[in-house]
Amino acid sequence: MGQGGVRIEPEPGDLTAVSGGPGDVAPIGRDLPKPAHELTAAEDVDAATWDQVAATDEFRALVAAKIRFILPATIFFLVFYMALPLLVGYAPDLMKTQVIGEVNLAYLFALAQFVMTFILAYLYLRKANQFDAMAQNIIAKLGIRQGGTK
């Protein structure tokens, strides 16, 4: 669609006027495109635009920055977490070692999972502010008003 707006071919017998010069605020008829400032978001965003946005340096930088954080973080927490059932299952004697008083390694490592989750969530929350700023920047450059990230 792009600049085209919704373009409906007049049906036979339809007497709606096909008019609208460059000076008109909006074309009365169906034939001419709306001026750019009157397009709704849905009309303004189309397949070509998505590809253009995806190809911009800013967007690539955003995706790269996200992957740089999320991929290592995900691998880390999966390994850290799966280490618990692995160690508990296959090295139970090690995990039964009492570390603080009668509290054993198994319980402490389980508690460490909670601490790890809290810390990682906090780190991501902080990091994500950067992602938001980058995304806002991309949207601002497009000059599109939209409500998804208000």
Partner 1 sequence: MSTSLIMFVIFIAITLGITYWAARRTSGATSFFAANRQITGWQNGIAIAGDYMSAASFLGIAGLIAYNGYDGFMYSVGFLVAYLTVLLIVAEPLRNSGKYTMADVLAYRLSARPVRSMAAISTLTVTTFYMIAQMVGAGTLVALLLKDANISYNWAVIGVGTLMIIYVVFGGMLATTWVQIVKAVLLMGGTLLLSILVMAHFNFDLGAFFNAITHVQSTVGGKTVTTNYLNPGLLYKPPYGALDLLSLGLALVLGTAGLPHILVRFYTVPSAKIARNSVVWAIAIIGVFYILTTFLGFGAATIVGKGFITSHGGTNMSAPLLAQNLGGDIFFAFISSVAFATILAVVAGLTISASTSFSHDFWTNVVHGGQERTKGQEVFVARIAALVVGALSILIAILLGPTFNVAYMVGLAFALAAAANLPAILFSLFWKRFNTVGAVTGMATGIIATLVFIIISPSIMGVDPDTLTAGRHLIQAKAIFPLANPGIVSIPLGFIGAYLGTILSHEPASEAKYNELNVRANTGLGAEV
Q: Residues in the site for partner 1, rule: CB under 8 A?
A: 41-42, 45, 47, 50-51, 53-54, 59, 62-63, 66, 70, 73-74, 77-78, 81-82, 84-86, 88-90, 92, 95-96, 101-104, 106-107, 110-111, 113-114, 116-118, 120-122, 124-125, 128, 132, 135, 138-139, 142, 144, 146-150
User: CB 58 → partner 1: shortest distance, Å?
Assistant: 10
Which CB atom, from 16 or from 50, has the smaller least distance to partner 1?
50
Task: Give the pairing type, strands 103-104 and 98-100.
Answer: antiparallel
User: CB 66 → partner 1: shortest distance, Å?
Assistant: 7
Task: Check: CB of residue 108 under 8 Å from CB of residue 100.
Answer: yes
Task: Check: CB of residue 7 under 8 Å from CB of residue 30.
Answer: yes
CA distances from 30 to 2, 15, 79 (A): 15, 11, 60
Whole-angstrom Cα distance, residue 116 to residue 138? 33
Which CB atom, from 1 or from 70, has the smaller least distance to partner 1?
70
Which CB atom, from 37 or from 126, has the smaller least distance to partner 1?
126
b/e burial code for range 41-59 (CB count within 10 A of at least 16 → b): eebbbeeeeeeebeeeeeb
Which CB atom, from 21 or from 143, has the smaller least distance to partner 1?
143
User: CB 37 → partner 1: shortest distance, Å?
Assistant: 18
Whole-angstrom Cα distance, residue 50 to residue 47? 5
User: CB 1 → partner 1: shortest distance, Å?
Assistant: 14
